Amino acid sequence: MSIPSLAVKPSLLKVPGAQIYYEVQGAGPVLLMISGGPTDAGIFAPLAAIVADRYTVVRYDPRGNSRSVLDGPAEDQVMDVHGDDAAQLLATFGSEPAFVLGSSGGGQIGLNLAARYPQCVKTLIAHEPPCMGLLPNAGEQRAFGEDVYSVYRASGAGPAMQRFMAAAGIAAGPQPQRTAPSTPEMAETFNRIKGNADFFLAHGLMPIGSYIPDITTLREGPVRIVIGVAEASAGSMPYRTAVALAERLGIAPASFPGGHGGYNDDPASFAEKLHQVLAGA
């Protein structure tokens, strides 16, 4: 028998320059999940199903990805615009500050949201945000992004995404055992994500990776900031950028199960850690 409060309700929100597709399920305090790169709301579906008994889970497609359609032609992504979208979405759920989980580029959006709209956020978990400009070899990291973009221009999205994942260390080394079952819904999600690769490579890769959050405001502001690192991605670029950001914020990073996409590597274990962190443990 299905539980009505756990059913997924899709909706659309009009924002300047785009419409935002989002999904809501569960009951309790609002937990906004922000996906990164070319991914969308569907990437969090296994995790959301587990935690919806404690939270009102809100997941959305960032503008330009999947079902969040732009009003006009594609443009380079701007973190302030993404932060505005997230704040406007949260405003539809009232004035209480929300919990926020941002993964990868979604972590960058969450950091922008927390700095510019602190009244909207109670706790932000930024899981391996790719703040490449904080690394000691920032010039090399920018060259990495430019190299991926050159591959994209010369050979297309497929080879460029392979170069991006390998160079970032996301696909390197032994991969965690994925316990989430393959479902038609997840297959549909990954098909949508493939369709977002061109937009990400042409308009998202460099703006997302080069964005450096307002560290002073985040350190001095009221929002509790948690920087997550993945147990299985130690040494990778996203892991190192997360550690670098945590150091500048003066906090210790929190270790989460799995790899860069740990919420899908082992959703149950990730959910348990998520509960602990949001509870302040």
Long-range (24+ apart) CB contacts under 8 A made by 184-192 are: 185/42, 185/45, 186/42, 186/45, 186/46, 188/42, 189/40, 189/42, 189/43, 189/45, 192/40, 192/42, 192/66, 192/67
CA–CA separation, 98 and 115 (whole Å): 14
180: confidence class by pLDDT, cuts 50, 70, 90: very low
Mean pLDDT, rounded, of the chain: 91
> pLDDT tens-digit profile of 135-176?
887 677 678 778 888 898 899 999 999 888 886 777 543 344
pLDDT exceeds cutoff 50 at 214: yes
- What is the model's pLDDT at position 67? 97
* Percent of the chain scoring above 90 in pLDDT: 74
CA–CA separation, 193 and 118 (whole Å): 30
CA angle 40, 229, 248 (to 5 degrees): 110
pLDDT exceeds cutoff 90 at 219: yes
Q: Are 39 and 102 contacting, i.e. CB atoms less than 8 angstroms apart? A: no
- What is the model's pLDDT at position 86? 98
Q: What is the DSSP letter of 175?
A: P
Task: Tell which residue, 51, 66, 77, has the closest CA to residue 203.
Answer: 77
CA–CA separation, 202 and 271 (whole Å): 33
Neighbouring-strand partners of residue 59: 23, 33
- What is the model's pLDDT at position 182? 67
* The CATH homologous superfamily of the domain defined by 4-278: Alpha/Beta hydrolase fold, catalytic domain (3.40.50.1820)
Indicate the domain borders of the chain.
Answer: 4-278
> pLDDT tens-digit profile of 84-111?
999 999 999 999 999 999 999 999 999 9
pLDDT exceeds cutoff 80 at 261: yes
